[in-house]
Amino acid sequence: MSGSVNKVILVGNLGADPEVRSLPSGGMVANLRIATSERWRDRNTGEQRERTEWHRVVIFSEGLAKVAQNYLKKGSKVYIEGQLQTRKWEKDGQDQYTTEIVLQGFNSNLTMLDARGEGGGDSMGGGYGGQRQTENRRPSSAPAFEPGGMDDDIPF
């Protein structure tokens, strides 16, 4: 197939502490339960309504699994970027399917959104096992960044 994309972006809160397990192979896996909510006003009744969705997040990246283990807990707010994967398993001889958001490899992200002191403020990508970026590869000939304040005289 010409290229495809499979991406999930969540901002939500952990419904429980992370469950972290070591694997026989030496790796680590962390499982998170994340809630996202939406609120809206019902057009007919005019009453406030809310709906919460629960997501299963599985972190196979060792660096990110450690971040989860060390910094996340029930209630933590996180930004998550991963892929959808559905796996099959059996229960009482019946096929069951579970869909998860998998963080594994280069196109994953886990960023803590709580204020410092409430559990963190770091962000990490999945491809580097705990080290975000090993070098700024921007060529030295490139002009340095400079923000430009709100008061630059650019006409809004």
CB 48 within 8 A of CB 12: no
Cα–Cα distance between 20 and 27 in angstroms, integer?
11
Cα–Cα distance between 97 and 76 in angstroms, integer?
28
Q: Pairing mode, if any, of strands 94-103 and 48-59?
A: parallel
Binding piece for DNA, criterion CB under 7 A, among 61-69, 103-111, 135-143, 145-153? 145-153
Cα–Cα distance between 64 and 123 in angstroms, integer?
9
Measured CA angle at 111 (ends 65, 27), to 5 deg? 10
The entry of its own copies, DNA, none that residue 129 binds, CB within 5 to 8 Å by partner kind: none
CB 29 within 8 A of CB 60: yes
Residues 67-106: x/- map of binding to DNA (CB under 7 A)?
A: -------xx-x-----------------------------
The entry of DNA, its own copies, none that residue 79 binds, CB within 5 to 8 Å by partner kind: its own copies
As measured in angstroms, the least distance from the Cβ of 33 to its own copies is 5
Under the binding rule (CB under 7 A), the answer on residue 148 touching DNA is yes
Q: Pick one of 11, 23, 35, 84: the residue that binds DNA (CB under 7 A).
A: 35
- In the complex, the residues that contact DNA under the rule CB under 7 A are 1-2, 12-16, 33, 35, 37, 39, 50, 52, 54, 74-75, 77, 115-116, 121, 147-150
